[in-house]
Each structure stands twice: as C-alpha cells, then as structure tokens.
Structure 1
Amino acid sequence: MAPNSMRTSAVAEILDPANPTDAERLATLRADPAIEVVDTLERQREALHACLPRPDDAVLEETSRWVHMPWRRTVVHVLGPRAFRRVRLDRNRNKITLDEQQRAAETTVGVVGLSVGHAVAHTIALEGLAGTLRLADLDELDLGNLNRVPATVLDIGVNKAVVAARRIAEIDPYLRVEILPAAVDESTVEEFLDGLDVVVEECDSFAAKVLLRRRARDRRIPVLCETSDGGVLDVERFDVEPDRPLFHGLLDDVDTDGVLDPATLIAAAATLLDARRLTSRMGASVLEVGRTLSTWPQLGGDVALGGATVATALRRLLRRDPLPSGRIRADLDARLDDLVDPLTETERPTVSYEPDPAARAQEMSDVEVVAFAAARAPSPYNLQPWTIRRSEDTVEITRTPGAGSTLGDVAGRASAVTIGAAARNMAVAARARGRSTSVAIAGDSARIALSDDRTEPTPGAIDGAAAVFARRSTREAGDGSPLSPAEVDALQASTTAGTVRVVTDRDRIDRAAAVLGVDARVRHLVPGVHGEWAAAIRHPGEVAPTGIDAHALGLPTAARALVPLLTRGDVMAHLAAWDAGQGLGAPTAAVVASASALVVVTAAGWSVDDFARAGDVAEAVWIAATAAGLGVCVTQPIAVYARDDADREAISPDWAQQLGAVDRDFRDALGVADDPLALVLRVVRGTGSAPVSRRRAV
C-alpha cells in the first residue's frame, strides 16, 4: 500500500465463483491448510427469504460470493451484494426506508482522524449510511488508543485507517472503503475531497481543521464534527451556505493562516468549545495538559456517543430532513441529573365516569328529564354539537354553528342525524312520564312541547326511557351469532317511518367488514380526519364532558397501550409517506366481522331535514336494540355523508379517490346502491362493559 495512495481497497478480497480467475483463486485459498473456510450461506438465505416485503426474484437468485480476509486468514461465503445488503440492513426499516437506504448507497462520506473517527466510520457502516467511506489518518495505532478505539492489541502498529477499514470489512465486505494513510494537507486535500458528499472532521491538527473547512466550503461540501466532551456536535452546511464563516465565525479574532503557538492553540480550542460550557472534569483537565496530563482526556463512551450523533446528523442529510448549521450538546452525564421515576411520572388518577344516567333521571322534573334525554343522543366523536334550552313546558335542541363540526359532517348531514336522534330521545322520555307531546324536527333543530294532559305511562314507554339512559356505543367484538327472526322483527318494527334494513347475510357482513378495514386505515392516514379523532380521545386521567374515553374503545387491555401511539399525527404521517399502515384497519375489520347484523337506515333524500328524520328512525332502532339486550355501535365510512366527488374532496383532496372507492365498495357490500345513508349500526350480542359516555350539562 503506497504511503500517499488513497485509492487502496479495504483489503478484503471478494471472489465470484462464476469468474474463472476468481474461481481459481478461491480453489487455491481453500486448498491452503492455513486458511479457515466459513460457510453460513444457507442461514443467510433463510434470512433473505424471511424479509418483508419479499425481495425481487433477481435478488433471491443472485449468485453468492466468497470473501478473503487475509488478516484473519479466513475465507467466508456470503450472499451476493444486493441480497447481502437487503438482509443486513433489514432491521433499519423503517427508521431508514428502502428508498433512503438506496440513496445512502450512492453517498460518499470522508472521515478524517480515525480515533474518534473510528467510532463514526463504524456507526456509519453499521447503519449503511454510505456506499463509499474514505478514511484518512497518518498515525498508527498505539496501546494508549485502546481506551477509545475498539481495536485489539493485535492491531498495535497498524495504520488507524486500516484498522477501521478491516473492522468495517468484517461487517460489510461490499462497502467500498478507500484509505489515505497520510496527513490531510495541501498535497492531499484536493484528492481526498474529490467526489465527497459529506466530510466528517475528527482530526487533532488545527491546521488540518482549517484547511478541510476552507476547501470543503469551496466545493460546497457540508462538514460535521463531534467533540468527545459533553456531546458537542457541530454542523456546517457549506453546501447551502457557501459564504458561511469557518467554525461558525467563533474564531474571527484568531489568525488561522499562521502557525499557532501552544498557548494560542489552547485559547482557540477553549473559544471553539466555549470554556463556560466544558464539562467540569474536562475544564480542570485542560489546565493540567503539559503538567500532569500529556494531552486532553477522551473516554470510549463519549467517543461512541460521537459516532451516534454524527450518524444521526448524516441520516437527516440523507433523508433531506431539516438540518441547519449550528451546534448541539448531547451531554448524557448532565442528562442523568434529570432522572425521574417513570412510575411517578406516568401515574394518572383513576378515570371518573359520569354517575348512572337512569338514577339521575329519576330525580328530575318532566321538562328536565326530557332535556336530559336530548343530551343523551349520539354524536360524532361524542362532541355534542348542540345547544339545549328548556322552558316551563318546552325543550328545544339546536345545532350550534361550528361546534363539534368535523370533516365527515358534510353539509351538516351528520349533525342533522344527531338532532333527529335527540328528538326521538325527548319523545320517549316524555311518554315515560305520561305526557303527550308535539314534536317538530328540522335539520338544525328539534322542539318538543309537553301538553298538560297526563296519563299512566305504559310499561313499554317506561322500558323505552330506561333504554334511552342505558344506551351506549358497544365497540367490543361480538360472537357473530345470528339474530333470531324475533330480534330482526323487533329492530325493523321499532319505527314506522323511514327505511330500515337489517343485514344478516354473512357474506355481506364480511364484505362490509373488509371495506371498513380499508376505511379505518384511511381515517388514520388522512391528517385532518386523524387529528379530529385523536383530539377526541380522552386518555386515562382526562375527565371531560365530550370526546371518547380510551377505555370505551373496546380494545383488549394489551392493545390499549397502543392508543397513545395511534393518536400521534407524526407517526401517522410517516405511515402515509411510506404507503404503509396496512394493519391499522385490521382491528376494525375483525370487530365488524364479529357482528350479528348490520342495520342500515337510509334517508328519503339528501337535505338536512331528510337526515334529521332518518336520525329519529335510527335512534328508535338503537333504543329497541338496547331494550332487547343487544349492543350497538355506529359502523360506517368517514365519507358516508359525501354525495359526490366534490364532497369527498372537501374532506381531503389527496384522498378523495380512495374515499370514493370505499363508498362504492361499502354500498355494494350492503346492496344499497345510491341511497342516502343516514346511519349504519353494528349489532352484537351483549351491551359490552364500556361505561355510558359523559355528556355536557344541559
């Protein structure tokens, strides 16, 4: 290896058995009794076939290679280059996606100074953040380096760049490593920088630090530098700031062109690192250099942290995420002062549910109970978009403009269904008190007037009111058992108005379940829709009169731990960008498939008045199901109230096409063609264990 050559390979010899010359060389090596042969190819192939998604046939069928590592006196059998990279970096995903890995494979990174730089280069290689690594260091490894360089006593006397290259070759023999076993100075700097995408500077020479930055700035190459004290990472984005001063302009008062005496060097280092913020032990040690210390101290853990922070910055560059010029401190020692007991930090008060609504209703006057029943109506995300007013003999519920509005509430149709449901509740509660009524329902309001006439309430009226106050959303899975003919008749006979269809055909239920699984994924990935749902979830300890309690989602205990994750918009944004998240809809599909029936309530037309009247009908079905001991939950696509493409684009322009496909498939599964769907209810056996949702005070 020529002393000033930087085009030297990383000393691993890759042999292709399909090449006659390589085949002959391999045969010679295998015949040498001093050479150990290691063949784990079948195990590697098993790992390749286990990768998801399945690799292309060209990758699966790629010819294997043999790698000769002379410093190990070993020949090892490995997968071909594409297959090897696919398996080795599979656990990177999706912190680093396949596309980002491919971008990294086309990146060339130079590292100068292979003490701290060894950890940097090793971490970059581990994560596959470069296709080519260029390593430069003049020095050979000494025993005194082994407190921070992960080499061995067998490497003493070997050039530091070669030591790092060998270690990297044992991780990934296909990763191209170029070695410059010399100083980076005026005679080598241009060749070293040629073709680099990023420079990592970890050298001791102040002159080399200045030279590298100046020439990197001329070539518009970003420079990263980690100082192994207090986790200081410097980022200098010369690629986007070609006029940026070196070292962030911190050394404007220092003549960086001249030869600095030791005292000036120490002063420059103290200025660069900010003497006020050096760790206390490093600060004290600097004052002892040349007296009781031969040089400044460095620890293996701090150097390893430097490898991690530089790799993290490089990942941002590769992903084209924001990474401005500047400095950050990742002082782990200082962070340990902030240790907290996680049990104490996450301790939350016990969830406090609303007292039993039925018991509260018994203590109210007739008008109060009617208003209270109106407030028990279902609404999207339990946002209760209404205002309820009562007088001596009337109760009126009106939609509050802007309150509780959601993207799915297209043209106010969902709110109109809510108003209609409230009207049904009011009428049922009044009959249970033996009061005759007159009810007026419109799209934005419902009004009930109580007459002075009183009669003895029938048992059916009393049972109906009990069902109003017991009504809840049963989100748990059912047992899938079919409804009896009597149960079907009870649901269909619950009202004489509107259109009610009870779907019990198992094939239609399963088809609808699959479609709603797709819809559930879309709900999570559409930012606005997901944001509304996430904002409505009430986590343990959050007591609010609106929204949905996390315990009421019907999830198994183990799955509840994922709710905080599912409500995070940043997590969903990644899944959307990756076209992933296929599993997001699986729980919904499974729960819908467990239904005993789906009840479809259609409106007579698309006006809000039509949907209000249909809401009255739907609530009658829900009350009848509750009285019969059945559990009910709304189960319909987010865009169910969208009449056309324009309506769907109002929900999300980017997802309108998929929303339309879901709507068509859902209607086809239920056999309802183009009818205006007011509400689709999933019916299961049992009313579940979730509490009755809280409501705002009237």
Structure 2
Amino acid sequence: MQSQAYSKLNIEALINHTKRLNTIYRPVFFNTKNSTEMHNFADLITNKPHLQIFDCIESQIEELIKCLKPGIPPADLKIAVEKHIGSSPLEEYGIWVYYPWSEKLVHLLDEEEFVIVRTNRNKHKITAQEQTLLSQKKIGVMGLSVGQSVSLTLAIERGFGELRIADFDVLDLSNLNRIRTGIFNIHLQKTVIVAREIAEIDPFLKVVCFHEGITEENIDAFLTENGTLDLLIDECDSFDVKISARQKAKALGIPVLMEGSDRCTIDIERFDLEPERPVLHGYVEHMDMDVFKTLKSMDEKIPYIAPVTGVETLSPRMKASVIEMMTSISTWPQLASAVTYGGGITADLSRKILLGNLNVSGRFFIDIDELITDQTAATEKIEEVGIKQLSNAEITNYFSIYPITDYKKGEVLSEELINKLISSANKAPSGGNNQPWHWHYENGSLHLFLNKYVSGAYLDPDYLSSYISLGASIENLLLEAAVNELKIDWKFTPDFFPDHIAVFNFNGKHIPDALEQKLAAQIANRHTNRKFGISEEISATDMQELKDLISSDELDLLWITDTEAKKELGDLSGQADLLRMFIPAAHEDFIKKEMRWNQEEVITTEDGIGINTLDLSNNDQIGLRLMKDEKAVQFLKEIKGGSALKTLALKQFQSSPAIGLMTSTENSPLSFLKGGMAFEKLWLAATALGYQIHPVNVPLIFFYKNNFQKLNDLPEKYRAQIFNLHQKFKHLFKITDNIAEVFMFRIFKAESSPVRTIRKPINKTLSIGRAKNKY
C-alpha cells in the first residue's frame, strides 16, 4: 500500500522542492515598529497556519538588565525591566526573525542588545574590546566536514563579523558520523546546512555561501570580495585547491590555519607576518603543482599528497585505516569526537591569531592519545644491532679455534685480482641484503666467514637464509675466477660451521667454458625485480634448461604454471607476509634491520633494502611506510586487516607465467649452501634468457621455523596456521615430508628495476693478512 502511494507522488515536484530548499538559508527580519514590516508580519502569521511562534522576549530583557547591571537585587529587577520597556507594546520590542526552512518565528532583542547578552559569558575570556575587534573580522572556511564544527564554534563565540563558507558537496548519510545535523538534511548542500545552523544560533551574523566550492573562477572573490579575508581556514579535501588557495593567500598576506582531525594536527602559516614563507612549510616547494592538476590516478597523486598529510606522523589507527582504504573501508575515516574538539581548537587559534595573541607558524599536534593515557610499565627497548664487520682480532681468534692445517696453500694473487674476485662475490643476493659474508685472504688462501653481526635475524633461523646467500656468493666467486683463468681448489668446512664456511686456493690455469662465460657475464646484471610481469609466457624449453642446469641427485627444480595454483600460492604467500608483520619480533627485524626508509639510511648502513628499490607503486610504498608503526600493525591485526598486503602478493603471482621451487633431499647447512650456489647459477642463466626473478622465501622460512628451528621462537598461536599453509603448499608442489624446500621464486618478463640495492665497499667485507697470523 505504501509503495502504491509512493509511486503516485510527483517525483519531479519533490526534486524541485529539494532544489528550492537548497536556496533557502537566510532568515527574514520583521521590525514591527515599521508599518510595512508590521503588515508583512501580520500576513505571515495569517498565511502560515502551521507556523511555530517562540516569544520569550521578556526573559531576554531580564537577562539584558542583569548583564547591564550585574548584581541587581531580584526585587529591583522587575522594576528595571518595566522601566526599560517603557510604554511600547511588548510585541513591538526588538525584532522578529522568521526561519522559512523550519517555519519558526522567534521574538528577539535587537542586534545591539542581542550581542550584549549573547557574548556576556565570554567575558573576560574575551574582553569587550576584543569582541568588538572580532566582529570586524572576515574569515573564510573551505570544506564543511571538519569545517562545519569550526564554523559553528566560531559562530557560537561570535568570533567573526563575516564568514565565507565554501563546499560543493551535499550531506550524505555517512557524513552523520561526524557532522552534527539532522537526518532531514540528507542531500542538502553542506553550505546551506551550516548557514542555517549559524542563523539559528545568531541571525545577525553575516554568512556568505559559495555553494560550488572553491574554483579557479571564484577563488579571488572568496578571498577578497567585500574586503580581503583576515584569516583563511582550510578544511577541504582537494589538494590542488589547498595549494592554489595558499599561493593566493600568500600573495595577499592572509594567514592560513588548517586542522586535521587525526591527532589534531594543526598547520599555521603566517603569510601576513612572513610574506616569503613557503606554502605548507615547504613540503611541496619542490613539486610542480600545475602538473598535479593533470594527474588522474591516486597513485600519481600520492607523491604530492603524502608530504602534506605526513605519513610518519599519522596516528596508529589512522595508519591502519589508510592501509585498509579501498579494501575494507571506502574513504578517509574521521570521528565526531576528533572533529568536534578540532573545531574548538581551531576556533580558539583563530581568535588568538586575529587578536594578535599568536604569531607562530608551523605544524603542531595535540594528540589526546599521547597526552592522556594509562600509565604502563616501561618496556625494555630492543637494542638495534649496529652494522659491524669482523675485526682482525676476531679472525685471528677463529684461526686459533679452527686451524685449517690439512689444506695446501695456493699461489699468491695480487691485491687487485683479489679485489676483483670479491667484488663479484659481493654482488650475490642476500636475505634483506644483509650481505653476511666476510672474506679473508692470507698466505695464498681465501677464507669465507659468516658475519654473525648481520645474520641470525628472525627470518634467518639457524642461519638458513645466510647459508643460501653465502652459497650464492661462492658461485659468483667461482665464476669470476673461471673467466679470469684461475683454477680453484676449494672445499666447505662443515666442522667449523657456522663461523668458517669455506676455504679457497688458486693453483694453475683454467680455461673457462661457454657456460661459465655466459653466467659470469650476468653477475652485474642480476638483480631482484618485484614488478608485475608483463608476459604471461615462459617456454617449456627455457624451463627445462633451467631445471637441467641445477638438477642433481640432491637438488631439483619444480614448476607451477597453472593459473589456479598460482592464485593459491599468491594467497599463501600473502598470508606469510602478514604473519611477518603481525609477529612483533619479525616486524621489528623488518623495519629496523632490513628496510632502509630513506637515502640517508642507505648510505649510512650500506646494506638493507632501500624502499626505492622495491618496484612498488606510490600507493603500495606509502602502505609499506605505514607498516613501520608497531601500534598500527597490531591494530590492523585486531581488526583482521591487511588484505592489501595479500592482494599485492596475489597480483605478483598471477602476473608471473611460472613459480619455481628448488628442493633438496637434505635439510642441513650444507644443503642450503649448495642450494644457494645452484640458485645463483639459475638466476644468472634466467637473466641471460631475458627473465626477471623475484625470490619469495618468507613462506619457506616460516615452514622451517615451525618444523626444524633449534630454538623455536614462533608464537604458539600461529603454529596451526603455518602448518595448514605448509600442507597446502606441499600439495600444490606435490612434495613429501622428506623434501626440504630451499628456494621459491617468481619468474617473468618485465623491464629491469631502475634502482639496485647497495653493496658494502670491499674494505668492509675483505681483509688481507700481510704475514702469517698477523692481520
């Protein structure tokens, strides 16, 4: 029945009614002492049978007398009121205000008396002289979500004489989580809603609406028409408007104030006092804002927006929310509590700026979560491991513990040639680019040590990852020696693991074969590439060639090319990546030991993975930076978030024509060293064939930790999840429990990565003894 009734309504009439409502936001005044206005007033009452009339003028006059004569005795108050009214009819006293949008008629004191009463309780927080000065000020507010709270608070305090408000948007239901208004205002212009609410607080305040928001066509009028603004308050979402408005405000000497509801971030730019001050504190000074206007995707805009929002300074929950943006939430979150106190703080700062009581510029935080918090016991700070190399004294001590006496000495090589060999060895890949090798050359023998200062991280259990890296480094050394026609006698030293790994001697001449020459030529070109693949094909011939290259009685190479299987592997890998973030010890290692967040860190440490080398989109790079915050990550875990991280892995796997897995029949340090050698050979061969490689070993490391790690530090609550992932993994690759998973990787065609991870200089990874046992 209701549906039938609704269908009969004139929809067009309803739409026109809504449009008409969007034009009505100014009250109508009636001075009944004026005969014409009295006539119009009478017509209004006659023609509006549903008009609501509110007439409490006598109580207002009583308040006025109390304001003018504080402490007046109650007995004298009535007499004073009667005397003040005089002989005029009470209905003609003051002014009548009609609110057409709500059909309400209110009897008020006239403006001068109204202001006396309205601002009485501001005294002496705001003096009468200051209130008068504020009544002459013009403020502009861009954006009316947070800006609504700012505008209403300014109006309540009577902190302006003219307020210009700009927003092109209408009220949505979802806005009501933070905008204080009624559901009957849904789909009304935000400017209209704010103008009405201010008029209902104080009908005498001047409000000028820019319903179309700020545009290139109206920005000058917003800033200067009817007098230049005394203060610009920016609460808009449009980044290019933020910049262009500031540039014009700077030219006009208008101070700018902005409040971000997260952590109550305050930006003050005193262009009136500092005419040469760069906009937004110089955060965007190096950027071409004309280019920004042409950008379409969020990924293109992120480099411009991020410096302004302050990625590192967001609250933990906001960081987690940004990571979840467009996955489990659709937009930038804000809370009513933050918007409300932000509005109050902005109004407070506005008053101080306009009265000349605050002259500072800068970015400030009024973070309630930091200012008021439960007292907790101080947690022990995890000491960051310094980037160290093995000292000569430590190497001397190693030789005293592990004497290599049963091995013949080789020919003595020039320091130049040794440097050449080690330079290639150092180009090997390593987990987190930790470069866990230390080479020592003395008396014709080259020794390889494990540098424990940089190894043994959470994802390097029992030095598993380091052994693979050392094996890759050995392979590079052997190849470089081969093309330099050096014959090498060498061996692993398993009795001395994990400190001493291998010893090498150079004796005689070697003629390199074609394979050695081909692989050695790719040492400088080989690099990790994390891009999405641009080719969905890899030939069966190429896959077989790579398999034959490394296969032995101990090692094998398995391939997965099936689309659904790759999808499952991508999901599995994404879950492992999330575990890495959610386990505090793993997260600690990731953000402090592995990642380098800026170029200064890269140059200082000479290791780790620079964020600029990850081949990430701007969005994904920002997401990764947000993951630095442990509190944000733990909150993400609480809300079962992080799907964006899993999505990235899924896309990477799906864009790769094949996923490879190197396996071994043994599970020992020696098998991982050999696996590292074989995989480096495979990687170099794949590079020669024009393929890119992306190691994806995090799942394998978690499997190892769950099953084999000697001193297992895996949280119990994750063991079942990892076990289930492992079972699925083994099913996908069709392997049994007695097979060790050594290395997993994506292989694909794509452009080379433009930036490579840094390497330590040779003098930090190679020591040369000048005489026996003297270093």
Superposition TM-score, scaled by structure 1 size: 0.51
Report the secondary structure of 1:38's partner residue: helix
* Residue of structure 2 equivalent to 1:678: 742
Report the secondary structure of 1:598's partner residue: strand
For residues 390 and 490 of structure 1, the distance between their equivalents in structure 2, rounded to whole angstroms, comes to 33
The answer to whether the 8 A contact 1:426-1:448 is kept is: no
1:475 maps to amino acid: R
The answer to whether the 8 A contact 2:447-2:502 is kept is: yes
2:735 maps to amino acid: V
For residues 750 and 155 of structure 2, the distance between their equivalents in structure 1, rounded to whole angstroms, comes to 71
For residues 19 and 730 of structure 2, the distance between their equivalents in structure 1, rounded to whole angstroms, comes to 57
Give the alignment partner of residue 38 of structure 1, picking from 15, 18, 43: 18
For residues 582 and 672 of structure 2, the distance between their equivalents in structure 1, rounded to whole angstroms, comes to 28
Change (3 A) 1:424 1:439: farther
Change (3 A) 1:653 1:532: farther
* Residue of structure 2 equivalent to 1:519: 576
For residues 600 and 372 of structure 1, the distance between their equivalents in structure 2, rounded to whole angstroms, comes to 28
- % same residue: 14
For residues 69 and 487 of structure 1, the distance between their equivalents in structure 2, rounded to whole angstroms, comes to 84
* Residue of structure 1 equivalent to 2:562: 506
Change (3 A) 1:396 1:534: closer
2:660 maps to amino acid: V
Give the alignment partner of residue 504 of structure 2, picking from 443, 446, 449: 449
2:422 maps to amino acid: A
For residues 457 and 181 of structure 1, the distance between their equivalents in structure 2, rounded to whole angstroms, comes to 90
Change (3 A) 1:368 1:480: same
* Residue of structure 1 equivalent to 2:353: none
Q: Tell which deviates more after alignment, 459-468 or 409-418.
A: 459-468
* Residue of structure 2 equivalent to 1:359: none
Matches within 5 A, 1:541-690: 543=603, 545-555=606-616, 559-560=617-618, 563-564=621-622, 566-568=624-626, 569-570=628-629, 573=633, 575-576=636-637, 578-638=639-699, 640-645=701-706, 650=713, 659-674=722-737, 675-685=739-749, 688-690=752-754
2:744 maps to amino acid: V
For residues 582 and 515 of structure 1, the distance between their equivalents in structure 2, rounded to whole angstroms, comes to 12
How many residue pairs end up in the alignment?
448
Give the alignment partner of residue 410 of structure 1, picking from 453, 461, 474: 461
Report the secondary structure of 1:468's partner residue: coil
* Residue of structure 2 equivalent to 1:386: 437
For residues 127 and 363 of structure 1, the distance between their equivalents in structure 2, rounded to whole angstroms, comes to 70
1:512 positional shift: 1.4
Change (3 A) 1:453 1:229: closer
2:654 maps to amino acid: A
The answer to whether the 8 A contact 1:629-1:687 is kept is: no
1:377 positional shift: 1.9
1:229 positional shift: 11
Q: Deviations over 1:477-519 (max 9, x none)?
A: 3312032235423433335353222314323333212322343
1:392 positional shift: 4.7
Matches within 5 A, 1:426-505: 426-432=477-483, 433-440=485-492, 442=494, 443-444=497-498, 445-478=500-533, 479-485=535-541, 487-496=543-552, 498-505=554-561
Q: Tell which deviates more after alignment, 517-526 or 611-620.
A: 517-526
Report the secondary structure of 2:518's partner residue: helix
The answer to whether the 8 A contact 1:598-1:682 is kept is: yes
For residues 15 and 515 of structure 2, the distance between their equivalents in structure 1, rounded to whole angstroms, comes to 91
Q: Tell which deviates more after alignment, 631-640 or 573-582.
A: 573-582
Cα root mean square deviation, aligned? 5.7
1:401 is aligned to 2:460? no
* Residue of structure 1 equivalent to 2:408: none
1:447 maps to amino acid: A
For residues 492 and 678 of structure 1, the distance between their equivalents in structure 2, rounded to whole angstroms, comes to 17
The answer to whether the 8 A contact 1:423-1:441 is kept is: no
Matches within 5 A, 1:39-438: 73-74=100-101, 126=145, 146-147=161-162, 312=261, 332=270, 338-339=277-278, 341-342=282-283, 366-432=417-483, 433-438=485-490
For residues 406 and 459 of structure 1, the distance between their equivalents in structure 2, rounded to whole angstroms, comes to 38
Q: Tell which deviates more after alignment, 424-433 or 525-534.
A: 525-534
The answer to whether the 8 A contact 1:538-1:548 is kept is: no
Q: Deviations over 1:239-292 (max 9, x none)?
A: xxxxxxxxxxxxxxxxxxxxxxxxxxxxxxxxxxxxxxxxxxxxxxxxxxxxxx
Change (3 A) 1:491 1:687: farther
Q: Deviations over 1:668-693 (max 9, x none)?
A: 33333543322112222467244554
Change (3 A) 1:438 1:450: same
For residues 148 and 717 of structure 2, the distance between their equivalents in structure 1, rounded to whole angstroms, comes to 32
The answer to whether the 8 A contact 1:519-1:637 is kept is: yes
The answer to whether the 8 A contact 2:700-2:743 is kept is: no
2:574 maps to amino acid: G
The answer to whether the 8 A contact 1:488-1:502 is kept is: no
1:435 positional shift: 0.5
For residues 230 and 548 of structure 1, the distance between their equivalents in structure 2, rounded to whole angstroms, comes to 43
Report the secondary structure of 1:439's partner residue: strand
Change (3 A) 1:364 1:663: farther
* Residue of structure 2 equivalent to 1:208: none
Change (3 A) 1:341 1:660: same
